[in-house]
Amino acid sequence: MRLLVDLVAQADAAPDTNFHHKVRGRIWRALQGTKFDDEHGNGTSLGLSYSNIFPWGSMKAGDERQFLLASPREGLLATIAENFRDDREFNIGNRPFEIDALRALDVDVGEPGTRGVIETATGVVVRLYDHHRDEYGIDGTGHEGTPTYWQPEHTIEPFRDAIVDNLQEKHDRFAPEYRPGPAEVDEPLFEGHDFLKTYALPVTVTTGTEIKMVVSKWRLDYRVRNDTHRHHLNLALNTGIGGRNGLGFGFVNIVEKTTPDRSELEGENAFA
């Protein structure tokens, strides 16, 4: 499930690339005093991902912007929406907004047989620790006990496996026990991994603590095999992929989707 937030800028402002903790702070302000408040800083996934404020760039007072949140926990999004209705102030550092409208969206990868492409709207954080480096033969000299951020020279395998392992943890937390997770099936989560770019940026993770993260962006091809695979893909849409989702990383969107009936027609008329 997704929550689309329509925003109106209240002042002229330039873009701020180190904004992630400020958005996180506004979300947790919405959860203060609720049943979700105890989950703040407990080390487990909240099951929430969110986009950047878009379109990106400088803004003038009166400009319209939007913001998306996603979660498999409808109650969580409903609680946030209730606060956003009561408290329309949405100030992200030097970028003040007012919430104009809220809409619930139901986004689904599609029934079995559906083909599509999922694209990362925000950078994906994949951290490789000592055991990952040992498994894939990645040089960790000088990084013992600290992560190495995935980069193209590490090859696709550690990225692919880390995404699945991370999603398995979210599956264990939010999915029914009877359904196997993405790391418990033989088939891959995605059929194709089209690497777009990697880049580094400074991120404030807690007040007064800034680190440099290396993130990557992707186009990920899929074909829904069955209902279990559909659940895995929809879970990725709702929780984000990779780590640091609580700071807005790993948010994904469906950018292409072809239903099974359309696929059959394309096949029949491919050379017409």
Q: The domain that contains 52 carries what CATH number?
A: 3.30.70.1890
| Known active-site residue 132 | no
Asked if residue 64 and residue 90 are part of one domain, the reply reads yes
Q: Final residue of a domain: which of 54, 72, 105?
A: 105
Q: What is the pLDDT of residue 153?
A: 94
Residues 101 and 120 both lie in one domain:
no
Distance between CA atoms of residues 79 and 74, nearest Å: 9
Using the predicted structure, report yes or no on whether residue 271 has a pLDDT greater than 50: no
Instruction: Point out the catalytic residue in the list 21, 40, 131, 154.
Output: 40
The DSSP H or E segment spanning 232 is: helix 227-239
Contact 222, 228 (CB under 8 A): no
Do both 45 and 79 map to the same domain? yes
pLDDT band at 264 (very low <50, low <70, confident <90, very high): very low
**What's the pLDDT at 147?**
86
Q: Are residues 122 and 237 in the same domain?
A: yes
φ, ψ of residue 62 to 5 degrees: the values are 95, -15
- Mean of per-residue pLDDT scores for the chain: 92
In a domain, 88, yes or no: yes
Last residue of a domain, one of 105, 123, 153: 105
How many C-alpha atoms does 26 have within 13 Å on its Cβ side?
A: 23
d(CA 212, CA 204): 9
Say what the pLDDT of residue 263 is: 53
What is Dmax (Cα atoms) for the chain?
63
Q: Write out the residue range of the structural domain in which residue 62 sits.
A: 2-105
Total domains in the chain come to 2
